[in-house]
Amino acid sequence: MDDYPLLNLFWTMLWFFIWVMWLFLLFKIVTDIFRSHDLNGWLKAGWLILVLAVPFVGVLVYVIVRGKSMAERDAQQAKAADESVKAYIRDAAGSGGRTGGGADELARLAELKEKGLLTDEEFRRAKDKLLA
């Protein structure tokens, strides 16, 4: 352990963390280049060549030039994903593939039974089928 002091271990960990964060930023930028709808194919190719050929300068220039729109695209994608999840939850919890919700169907069955249009046996079978 004498060959590698504790301070050197911390420096190594710091540089490794910075390297991983830079790689994360590089991959984030590459995905943003392909996701951008406001760039044509040639501009996407140019940005990609710049970012991959001269990585540190290319990433820095991309963040300076397109950082704000990159954040806006991320926010739009997060909003769309959130709306998609909420719509799925509403669909799954609300109707479950039926025309009305389960509680609505049960209330309608109870109404029909109260009006005398369903017998106790028919109501029980319909309720069991609905809850199954």
In this predicted model, what pLDDT tens digit does every residue of 33-81 receive, in sequence order? 998 888 899 999 999 999 999 988 999 999 999 988 898 888 988 898 8
Q: Which residue has the higher pLDDT, 102 or 78?
A: 78
21-26: average pLDDT: 92
pTM: 0.57
103, pLDDT greater than 80: no
- Cβ-in-10-Å burial (0-12, 13-18, 19+) of 30 comes to middle
pLDDT given for residue 14 in this prediction: 96
